[in-house]
Chain A
Amino acid sequence: MTLLRFAGGSLLAALVAAPAPAQELPNAKAVYDANCAACHATGIGGAPRTGDARAWSAPIGTGINALYANAIKGKGAMPPKGGNASLTDAQVMAAVNHIVGLTAAPARRTGAKPVDTSKGKLVYQVVCAACHTSGLAGAPKLGDAAAWASRLSAGPGSMYANAIKGKGAMPPKGGNASLPDADVRAAVDFMLTQMRGGTALPPAGAAAPNPAAPAAPAVSVPGAVVLAPAVYESADPNAFNRLMVAPGRRNPPPAEDGIHDPESPGTALLQAPLLSFQSLPRANLGNYVNWVTALGKKQIQPRWDTRDPKAEPAVMDLNIVREVKGSMPDVVFPHKQHTEWLDCSNCHPAIFTPEKGANQISMAAIMLGQKCGVCHGKVAFPISECRLCHARQKSAGARTVEGPSAGGGRQ
């Protein structure tokens, strides 16, 4: 194993040094070169220049979906689809990804580390949040890109200085004179990363090098874990959706999804889910895609065999009704929708004995990831879609009436 790791390591080094492999979305670069570069490579007419992280920080801060929309519909001096109406939405979105990818890239190339925001976040929560979360006394609100963009134009350097010395209604160091300057800078860095939607743009500290900022040590801030109940990007306490994921923030691209490392050279090459999903029927939860309909209408054609694109599943159309005590509608288990995707051996006998009523199933088990919960609530549609499973209305006597909604009743 050591040997392999060694071999892997040197391979890795070789590959990272080489230019990114040609795995870019097939035509993103071509679309960009032909339709967008004229303005965005040069900055003509006020177009934010590709690669200029400062110029892009405000637009990117509004979220990738807003960028897609503005690039498609046009904005200010930016013509719809860059002036080429024959481009598909997908092509424009790919070009936007390309711009964002190139803009985020320089940070990687120069080896700049991502801003370590754990210290800054802690300071922010203890000292600055009182005013900056709510916008008290006219303080620019955390995450409010517009409020910050104008200030950022003076450069992050003056921002550090103002935060340390105070400005207007903002007391020096937020009123906490004993705070080291470096901690105030760390808090400012944290506030700026929030404005940028947490993307990989170079930290303000990189633009205006200052010796103290990198001193913020990594990780071990005692109490950080306890004190830091996720600062949500939308800090407006009266935002319409507080706990539910608001529509504009679903299916984020890999670099913004919190799991992929925006610093990894691979991340920018991965596909943004929306690019794939925009042509597919939508659903309320999960991937926000209705996979059953997408497959039924052949909008996707997933293979049944690794290599043979023509192999077809042997679909079995057999509904199993499971009566449920209490008020919840009965459950209809449709073999049809399952055997479109799965082999009998995926369920029988490991998960279910193939005999109607032979299996004990309860919601508790499902929520713990057993029975139907082996797939639902992980990869197949989530548990919150009660109606898709609880699909058959109970109506005394009329046992054959199927629920009006999808479930076993579909198709």
Chain B
Amino acid sequence: MSARGKTVAAGAALVAGVMMLCGGEREARAEYGDVVMNNYSDAAGMRPAVFPHWFHRVRFRCKVCHSDLGIKFKAGGNEINMLKIIDGQFCGACHNGSVAWSVENCDLCHSAKPGTPTQVHDSTINLLGGAGTAPTGASAPAGKK
């Protein structure tokens, strides 16, 4: 039975992991759960988009976006682009001038520093991968200059 060995190994990995999780001082210290989306933005000359979970969860339950609107739990994994948004999908289901301010306010969404990779800020994987390195999404950080 190697179960015991496994537990020990898992324990060691845990300790190492948890050390990083107590929230080391990093250069980027955006709000927990902020999602940066940069599948296409950099390449298109726009600042990457930032989606603040904390702001939206004050106003909506997760179910609204992740079930009703079908947004998958994967940063950068929904292939969101502007055509879909102006057709009323994803952000466009609300940012249409009726539920929330509309799509012409480009800069409110496209507000990240150019070159910021797709990521969920402060996520476990993000922390384990080091200061803001590992993007969790499927995206290649497009257009790194």
Contacts and interface: CB of A to CB of B under 8 A. Distances in A.
Interface of A: 1, 4-5, 8-9, 11-12, 15-16, 21, 23, 219, 230, 232-234, 241-245, 249-252, 254, 257-261, 264-267, 269-271, 273, 276-277, 285-287, 289, 291, 300, 302-307, 313, 325-326, 340-343, 345-346, 362-364, 367-369, 373-375, 377-379, 382-384
Interface in B13-56: 13-14, 17-18, 21-34, 36, 44-47, 50, 52-55
A56 B61 CA distance: 39
Given A287-B31, A342-B62, A369-B123, A245 B10 contact: no
Given A250-B29, A378-B124, 16 more contacts: A8-B106, A219-B145, A233-B25, A270-B111, A273-B54, A276-B55, A287-B33, A304-B61, A325-B7, A342-B67, A367-B17, A369-B123, A369-B125, A374-B73, A377-B21, A377-B123
B107 A252 contact: no
B107 A289 contact: no
A381 to B, nearest CB: 9
Contacts, number: 218
Contact of B62 (A257, A289, A341): A341
Given A305-B68, A379-B53, A340 B106 contact: no
Interface in B81-107: 81-83, 93-94, 99, 101, 104-107
B113 to A, nearest CB: 4
Contacts of A8: 46, 82, 106
A260 B21 contact: no
Contacts of A234: 25
Contacts of A367: 13-14, 17, 124, 128
Interface centre among B121, B123, B124, B136 (most CB of A within 10 A): B124
Contact of A287 (B45, B54, B111): B54
A375 B105 CA distance: 29
A367 B145 CA distance: 32
B107 A266 contact: yes
Contact of B33 (A241, A341, A378): A378
B111 A267 contact: yes
A16 B46 CA distance: 13
Contacts of B125: 368-369, 377
Nearest to A280: B58
Going nearest first, the 9 A-B pairs with the smallest beta carbon separation are A266-B107, A258-B28, A377-B124, A257-B30, A259-B30, A343-B67, A379-B33, A343-B63, A261-B113
Contacts of A373: 124
Interface residues of B, number: 75
B139 to A, nearest CB: 15
Contact of B29 (A243, A257, A289, A368): A257
A180 B10 CA distance: 52
B138 interface: no
B112 A260 contact: yes
A1 B10 CA distance: 48
Contact of B113 (A260, A273, A343): A260
